[in-house]
Copies of this chain bind each other. A is one copy, B any other.
Amino acid sequence: MEFCQSVFLKMGCNEDDTRLASDVLTKSDLRGIDSHGVARLSGYTRLWKAGRINPTPNIKIVHETPSTATIDGDAGLGLVVTPFAMEIAMKKAETAGTGWVAIRNSNHFGIASYHTELALKRDMIGMSMTNASPLVAPTFSSERLLGTNPISVAIPSGSETPFIADFATTTAANGKLEILQRKGKKAPVGWIQDKEGNSSEDPHELKEGGALLPLGSDYEHGSHKGYCLGGIVDIFSAVLSGANYGPWAPPFVSFLPLSEDPVGEGLGHFVGALRVDAFRPSDDFKGHMDHWIRRFRDSIPAPGYEKVLIPGDPEREAEKDRMKNGIPVNDKVLNDLGDLAKELGIKPL
């Protein structure tokens, strides 16, 4: 947390933004989503050095109606722009029942569930999605036209832990491939294809121009549904907001150039908040959610499995463990952060 803060302060972020951005990354590491925590710090720094991240953005509402707004993030950190947008969505939900905000000219927004959880304590359902660097091939295509385009939905409960879904619309996330690369293992069939569009089990394929596959893996197993989902996220995040969509989405890595013919501004996100009592009395809703959660959690497991999980359970278990035992950081990331500390002249992690 402290190390994160030193980095964001060094970039020129103000204290509030620094605290917020560091909180997003720290929560990610705590919950076991290592790919979206401190491991991303040097990536953010390089984008800042390349002039693609503005540490002191003037975030503006460019259009609004009673239940909607469109926001220009002024090239700020998505980690800061998105909570700002979520606050507007929740304010609108207070008066209009729901609030929906499309965001353009932003950057990587961290874990999607950070933003949706903000809605829970106000008895609202939170939604968030973002487009991302093009690494995913639509069904039947050999080209990388979509990002891993995650969706999160957080739903309040009463006495049970809430339902918090947060998932990429691909079969496997990039982080899982990186683990296989490090271990020198093959990838399961259905995760990736090579640059010609043939099925592949080589986890290095992605660096050679290959692509991740939409959720479902192949047509026979419904990959056209994953492609639909990824497309919907891209359109809500980027076409509705006026950001760069599809293959024009700006890459997260600074060594890849931005498109020379951008179709919008920066990366796009879309967030929403629905006040539960805009539909039903909150207590009725939360009582039934508790019942739903208990019924699913108590379901009889299939052979070989211990228990049935509720969306959000794996992250809650990781958080419990890491609060007690600390967050393990792998050597490659530690070295990378050591170099970063030297480069920025700050105290190492």
Instruction: Report A's interface with B, CB cutoff 8 A.
Output: 63-68, 70, 95-98, 100, 102, 125, 137-143, 145, 153, 155, 163, 165, 167-172, 188, 190-191, 193, 196-198, 215-217, 220-222, 224-229, 231-232, 234-235, 239-242, 245-247, 263-264, 274-276, 278-280, 284-285, 288-289, 291-292, 295-296, 299-303, 305-309, 311
Contacts and interface: CB of A to CB of B under 8 A. Distances in A.
A303 B197 contact: yes
Given A145-B296, A163-B235, 9 more contacts: A68-B98, A138-B308, A140-B306, A141-B300, A141-B308, A167-B224, A197-B303, A197-B305, A217-B217
14 contacts: A66-B67, A96-B97, A102-B280, A138-B308, A139-B308, A140-B305, A142-B299, A163-B235, A167-B222, A172-B221, A196-B303, A239-B285, A239-B288, A240-B276
Nearest to A143: B299
A96 B70 contact: no
Contacts of A153: 228, 232
Contacts of A276: 240
A68 B273 CA distance: 12
Contact of A100 (B97, B229, B241): B97
B140 A309 contact: yes
Given A302-B137, A302-B196, A308-B141, A235 B70 contact: no
B171 A302 contact: no
Nearest to A193: B302
A68 B231 contact: no
A103 to B, nearest CB: 10
Nearest to A284: B242
Contacts of A222: 167, 170-172, 215
Given A193-B302, A231-B311, A97 B67 contact: yes
B296 A246 contact: yes
A199 B230 CA distance: 28
A279 B240 contact: yes
A172 B288 CA distance: 29
Most chain B CB atoms below 10 A, which of A70, A165, A306: A165
Contacts of A228: 153, 165, 167, 311
A272 to B, nearest CB: 9
A192 to B, nearest CB: 12
A138 B295 CA distance: 12
A163 B302 contact: no
Contacts of A225: 167-169, 215
B308 A70 contact: no
